[in-house]
Chain A
Amino acid sequence: MTRLLTSQKFRRIAIQSTFVFLIAVFIISLVVTGQRNIAAQGIATGFGFLERTTGWPVNFSVIEISPRSTYALVLWAGLINTMLVGFLTLIFSTILGLILAFMRISSNTLMNFVGTAYVELFRNVPVILQVFFWYALLTHLPSPKQAYDLAGIGFLSNRGLMLAVPELSSTDWLTLLAALVAIMIGLFVTRGRGEARLKGLIAVGLIVVLFAVLLLTGRAPDTGLLSVPELKGLRFIGGMTLKPEFSALLIGLVLFGAAYIGEIIRGGLLSVDKGKLEAGVALGLSEFQTNRYVRIPLAFRAMLPSLSNQYVWLMKATTVGIAIGYPDYFAIVSTSINQAGQTMELIALLMGGFIVVNYSIGFLMNQINERIKLKGRS
């Protein structure tokens, strides 16, 4: 018995299993008590409400929804809205961040100053204030009747930016998308094979010509090629609209995120050991080659972990959209809580949605990290 107690292995296992057991007991008792108390209060629980229709409208959605849609569909639309603004933020803020990073490490004083000023300004003001600022700016534009005319193809007013778009049906768009994917695959498969690629390009050309011919001949005679926004009563009809809520949120997040991402990229670039760069030069690589084959690969590895962090953070920051009326996932959940009353279930869904999205980002970044990390070293 004493031998058992003094055995380090046994003690370790005993302590760990007791710990796990206590946590399990704690969680289970919380669940059971909570469940009993909810039942005692006569509050309905469960996810049955998801199949009920909402009865309230949503201002902006990528997929088609109406007040007659179910809660499940409306919540899904909210999640898509969050992902739309989130991923666009990641893309644009990375591009802008890259530019800022190069400005910051440049030896040109003016560029350096502009980069530094930008980072200090946008990094040090809370993101919600920035979003409010852009929203206030966009909603103080003139009303639709006095909208700025952008050369007849667009209008800028406090209802957003209205742009002319090609008059294509959803089938047309899908055809175009399919063609684009096919071209990408073709180009990828025929890498380095000149003759095959040439044939491929000819095929692509044929597709484009055929599509154009069908588009021009197959459509109803009086529809134009472009759908141009037109003022009718209180609003513009036709074209596409970038609403101020969406634009303000995107602009605010991109400008804010870029300041952070720029600093992460700059840190990565500066982290590369000077000796390695000199080694590259000593091997006879040009400056471009040193950057391309030595600096950037090493810098990318160094900045990837903080970059993943920043991406996840930015995705969560989309929730400030609720403050300016952008119907993101958080806003939809919040309204649903008020309308359906199933607070606990909806908060669980809210957390679940963000965990899935952010875990996917993390997973993707880890995969990239795995692919590019220096092999054979720890």
Chain B
Amino acid sequence: MKQKLLNLTAAATIAVSGATGAFAQDQGLLDTIIERDSLLCTGHNGSYLGFAEVDAQGAWQGFDIEFCKALATAILGSPDKLQIIPISWAQRFPAIQSGDIDVIIKVTGWTQTRDTELGLQYSRPYFVGPFYVMSKTELDAESIADLEGGVFCVNAGTTVERVLTDYMSTKGIEYEPLAFEKGEELRAALYAGRCDAIAGFGPFLSATRVNADNPDDYSIIGEPIALEPEGIVVNQGEDDLLDVVNWMVSALLMAEENGITQANVDEVKANPPSATVERLLGVTPGVGERLGISDDWAYNVIKAVGNYGEIYDRTIGEGSRYQLPRGLNNLWSNGGVMYPLVLD
């Protein structure tokens, strides 16, 4: 009875918050998106450098944003049929549960709680992010143990908090944790010297370093503390949409594997080297029909944003100011862990 009463309180809160209408859906979300002719995808409140940031012209840029564009193109045929909703880390789950957004593409780690209790569903990882520690160069730390007793700052409410805690307790290193709600405040605390080190996602650390007045004041310790697989998230039960997401990621990787780029996709389509590529680019039918979208979706995606490698280079890799090496996010054939699924 008591439990029930508590449930009711919780339910009342959700109902009052106006989230009611979005739940009861007779049709799948994929059809709703097609009908709406627009995809609602996650941005960031402020900037998560390299992944979702607003450029000088006020346009969204970044690795995650490119995947939003790719998904919009796959479903609706154009990267412009996309609305980026700025959302904080904490808001992302309530927002997708209430239908304010269609998908979460926001370097979201695949955890058991999220996968089960939150009623969410993960795509195959589209990115694997190693966690590192970055400290001030003047501290001369060669390993994390050298920072014993220091202040380690992290983003509040992220998986980094847990990962760092586990790592430090396993190694028996004492430290003082300090968590900040927003990335800007975390960076400010580091630059001011409140923190001896910050722990986080490798790309985030590089971006933070590049943004400092003098990047050489900070160095990333080459000892990864953990690896987190990042997936694209949809609501439980949206299997049709999840299928499209998984095959979109796969198509981007397959394009890279086959040397198909934004520049040469027309050429390859006119003269496909293999039956698989023919299917991928919609020369022979099937690739879209099975998913409930147009057959040339993969062609449109590559034409709009390029293949996985191109996206990576442009947003966080060699072609960007963050200069992140591909590392594990390279194709399996180049020493990474990324691979396309089998397109038959």
Report A's interface with B, CB cutoff 8 A: 27, 30-35, 37-38, 40-47, 49, 55-59, 67, 136, 139-140, 143, 158-159, 232-235, 237, 244-245, 322-325, 327, 331, 334-335, 337-345, 347-348
Asked if A40 contacts B23 (CB within 8 A), the reply is: yes
B1-19 interface code vs A (CB 8 A; 1 in, 0 out): 0010011111111111001
Asked if A234 contacts B179 (CB within 8 A), the reply is: no
B158-193 interface code vs A (CB 8 A; 1 in, 0 out): 100110011001000000111111100100110011
- Report chain B residues within 8 Å CB of A33: 15, 20
- Report chain A residues within 8 Å CB of B343: none
Given contacts A33-B15, A34-B11, A140-B192, contact A233 B179 (CB under 8 A): no
- Report chain B residues within 8 Å CB of A331: 156, 179, 181
Classify chain B: how many residues form its interface, as a range: 35 or more
Q: Which of A32, A47, A158, A335 contacts B193 (CB 8 A)?
A: A158
- Report chain B residues within 8 Å CB of A342: 10, 117
Q: How close is A195's CB to chain B, nearest CB, in angstroms? A: 55
Q: Does B150 contact A (CB under 8 A)?
A: yes
Asked if B24 contacts A344 (CB within 8 A), the reply is: no
Asked if A335 contacts B179 (CB within 8 A), the reply is: yes
A46 to B6, CA, bound (A): 6
14 sampled A-B residue pairs with Cβ under 8 A: A37-B20, A38-B10, A41-B119, A43-B97, A56-B179, A58-B177, A136-B188, A234-B196, A235-B149, A322-B181, A325-B180, A338-B93, A344-B11, A348-B9
A343 to B149, CA, bound (A): 34
Task: Please give 7 more A-B residue pairs, beta carbons under 8 A apart, in addition to A46-B6, A49-B117, A235-B151.
Answer: A31-B12, A41-B236, A136-B192, A159-B151, A325-B179, A325-B185, A334-B90
Q: How close is A116's CB to chain B, nearest CB, in angstroms? A: 34
Closest residue of chain A to B89, judged by CB? Answer: A338
Asked if A338 contacts B149 (CB within 8 A), the reply is: no
- Report chain A residues within 8 Å CB of B10: 38, 45-46, 342, 344-345, 348
Closest residue of chain B to A234, judged by CB? Answer: B150
Q: How close is A161's CB to chain B, nearest CB, in angstroms? A: 14
Closest residue of chain A to B159, judged by CB? Answer: A339
Q: Does B94 contact A (CB under 8 A)?
A: yes
Given contacts A45-B7, A325-B178, contact A348 B13 (CB under 8 A): yes
**Chain A CB within 10 Å — which of B147, B153, B162 has the most?**
B162
- Report chain A residues within 8 Å CB of B341: none
Asked if A338 contacts B162 (CB within 8 A), the reply is: no
- Report chain B residues within 8 Å CB of A44: 116-119
**Chain A CB within 10 Å — which of B8, B10, B20 has the most?**
B10
Q: Does B275 contact A (CB under 8 A)?
A: no
